[in-house]
Amino acid sequence: MPTVSSEELAAAAGVNSAKLRKDFSYLGSYGTRGVGYDVEYLVYQISRELGLTQDWPVVIVGIGNLGAALANYGGFASRGFRVAALIDADPAMAGKPVAGIPVQHTDELESIITDNGVSIGVIATPAGAAQQVCDRLVAAGVTSILNFAPTVLSVPDGVDVRKVDLSIELQILAFHEQRKAGEEAAAESAAAPVAATRKNSATDQGPDGDVPAVMPA
Amino acid sequence: MPTVSSEELAAAAGVNSAKLRKDFSYLGSYGTRGVGYDVEYLVYQISRELGLTQDWPVVIVGIGNLGAALANYGGFASRGFRVAALIDADPAMAGKPVAGIPVQHTDELESIITDNGVSIGVIATPAGAAQQVCDRLVAAGVTSILNFAPTVLSVPDGVDVRKVDLSIELQILAFHEQRKAGEEAAAESAAAPVAATRKNSATDQGPDGDVPAVMPA
DNA sequence: ATGTCTTTGTGAACGCGTGCACAAAGATTG
DNA sequence: CAATCTTTGTGCACGCGTTCACAAAGACAT
């Protein structure tokens, strides 16, 4: 039976092993003392907790470049997501297959949501159409929305919205880039250490961490 | 002179006003006691600190759906980014304009980087090509990379990488969706409160916050 | 000018999460 | 079966960031 110790996992993830054990303990006691964690069982338990073992039908609204990119993105299926439908307002798109799935017209939105029991919607429309699409999705029963349009959506209580701003990551890189340049001509401005930049781990390639808490766009 | 108080800003952002004032204080003393912060001046100071007042030439490598979507994305220009070039390995793409910018062949990569003084590169290639493209970008002088390919890139010290995984946000939504469903059939599993989900503010639509620290993909 | 009122900037206290350190548990060996 | 060794699960202490609370600063009214 293949196993891993918290120590090994912690080293790989660049975190403290005690923290990792404590985090796992919230999911239950899945480890064996003196041995470690059964890899397969652990993966299953974490997958289950994260909802990866369920099948999540999603609809993508707005099949432009971004919508098409999302439809083609392979990472969805492996994470338990199933693209139930692609929806676009352009009648010329209707019926045309993208990533093997025929695009349907916005008129069908409500029936698609209902018939497929969709609770997660992805908005990849232009900014102007986003709120309207959002309202229709919510009215049809969607309770989670992933928004790629550059607008803050307003939704009723009980509906989750996550906004993805593709330029924010670039901005963070530029921020670091600027600091790199600044260090060469170092110590030009005396004090003002600017919200201490903490580096989590050497292999940190993710969002979160290293971003100032308050910094409006 | 239009001004804002830390109290107003804090309310709008859903944070504590003292924290906001302390954060601002790291940038210097830009407020006036009894009045607040001069909006225009504050915006300028924050913009400058974040590097938004500089011009950042970027190259986008891999002009598929995603690359094209990025090239068309309006949010870049307004944040100080300038798409210096679009690069693709497909010779058939060469010369074809995307978002008004002609696509150039991978052969030109090094000269483009050098000639334009590009320090930030965006990788939107398939997973298989990403590391190779990354190596060439770095060799040519790029020191910050935004990676949309589903691969973890390895880079030398001094080079920043940020990986954007479009499915992670969906996964977070699915996680919450699952918990919503679980609450109805509540208290089925006794204890195990699972890493307490903290909600930052009522209007939180952003990444960060509300995500478990350790949770491998 | 003097007083009052508002809001900043920050020292100090509090609270929470992280990491330490160890007892308990179980595997493994003789 | 006893002894030893490894690794988990967790109580506790420390440290850091958030929040409180207030003195200082400046605007504005009288």
CATH of the domain at B10: 1.10.10.10
CB pair distance less than 8 Å for A166 and B73? yes
CB pair distance less than 8 Å for B167 and A81? yes
State pLDDT tens for residues B36-68.
Answer: 999 999 999 999 999 899 999 999 999 999 999
Q: Report whether pLDDT(A112) > 90.
A: yes
Domain of residue A18, residue span: 3-50
What does the mean pLDDT of chain B come to?
A: 87
Same-domain pairing of B157 and B77: yes
Is B123 annotated as ligand-binding? no
A11 CB closer than 7 A to any strand C atom? no
Rounded mean pLDDT, A47-54: 90
- How many other β-carbons are positioned within 10 Å of the β-carbon of residue B207? 20
Which residue bears the tokens 């009522």?
Answer: B202
For residue B204, is it within any domain? Answer: no
Question: In this predicted structure, what is the pLDDT of residue A74?
Answer: 81
Same-domain pairing of A17 and A91: no
Which residues from B are below 8 Å from A208, CB to CB?
207-208, 211
A199 CB closer than 7 A to any strand C atom? no
Name B57's bridge partners: B82
State pLDDT tens for residues A61-99.
Answer: 999 999 999 999 888 888 899 999 999 999 999 999 999
Same-domain pairing of A74 and A148: yes
**Which nucleotide's C1' atom has the smallest distance to the CA of B19?**
D18
For residue B120, is it within any domain? Answer: yes
Identify the domain boundary among B166, B184, B209: B166
State pLDDT tens for residues B167-180.
Answer: 889 999 999 999 88
Same-domain pairing of A61 and A21: no
Same-domain pairing of A120 and A27: no
- Number of structural domains chain B divides into: 2
- pLDDT confidence tier of residue B20, bands split at 50, 70 and 90: very high
Same-domain pairing of A70 and A151: yes
Encoded tokens for B19 = 């924290």
Asked if B121 contacts B145 with a C-beta cutoff of 8 angstroms, the reply is yes
Interacting residues of B187 by C-beta distance below 8 A, sequence separation 6+: none
State pLDDT tens for residues B116-141.
Answer: 999 999 999 999 999 999 999 999 99
Identify the domain boundary among A13, A33, A50: A50
Helix (H) and strand (E) counts in chain B: 8, 10
Q: d(Cα A148, Cα A67) in Å, to the nearest integer?
A: 9
| Closest protein CA to C1' of nucleotide C25, residue | A33
Asked if A6 contacts A24 with a C-beta cutoff of 8 angstroms, the reply is yes
For residue B198, is it within any domain? Answer: no
Same-domain pairing of B77 and B111: yes
Question: In this predicted structure, what is the pLDDT of residue B206?
Answer: 67
Interacting residues of A160 by C-beta distance below 8 A, sequence separation 6+: A143, A144, A145, B173, B176, B177
For residue B134, is it within any domain? Answer: yes
Same-domain pairing of B45 and B66: no
Rounded mean pLDDT, B186-199: 40
Domain of B127: which CATH number? 3.40.50.720
Same-domain pairing of A62 and A78: yes
Among B106, B50, B112, CA closest to A170: B50
Question: In this predicted structure, what is the pLDDT of residue B180?
Answer: 84
Same-domain pairing of A99 and A156: yes
Protein chain A, residues 20-39, with a C-beta closer than 7 Å to any atom of nucleic acid strand C: 21-22, 32-35
Encoded tokens for B188 = 């089925």
Question: In this predicted structure, what is the pLDDT of residue B78?
Answer: 84
For residue B202, is it within any domain? Answer: no
Which residues from A are below 8 Å from B163, CB to CB?
205-206
- pLDDT confidence tier of residue A136, bands split at 50, 70 and 90: very high
Same-domain pairing of A98 and A10: no
Alpha carbon of residue B5 to chain centroid: 28
Q: d(Cα B172, Cα A98) in Å, to the nearest integer?
A: 25
Interacting residues of B151 by C-beta distance below 8 A, sequence separation 6+: B127, B130, B131
Is B200 annotated as ligand-binding? no
Residue of B nearest to A9 (CA): B216
Same-domain pairing of B136 and B69: yes
Question: In this predicted structure, what is the pLDDT of residue A184?
Answer: 61
Interacting residues of B140 by C-beta distance below 8 A, sequence separation 6+: B109, B110, B113, B114
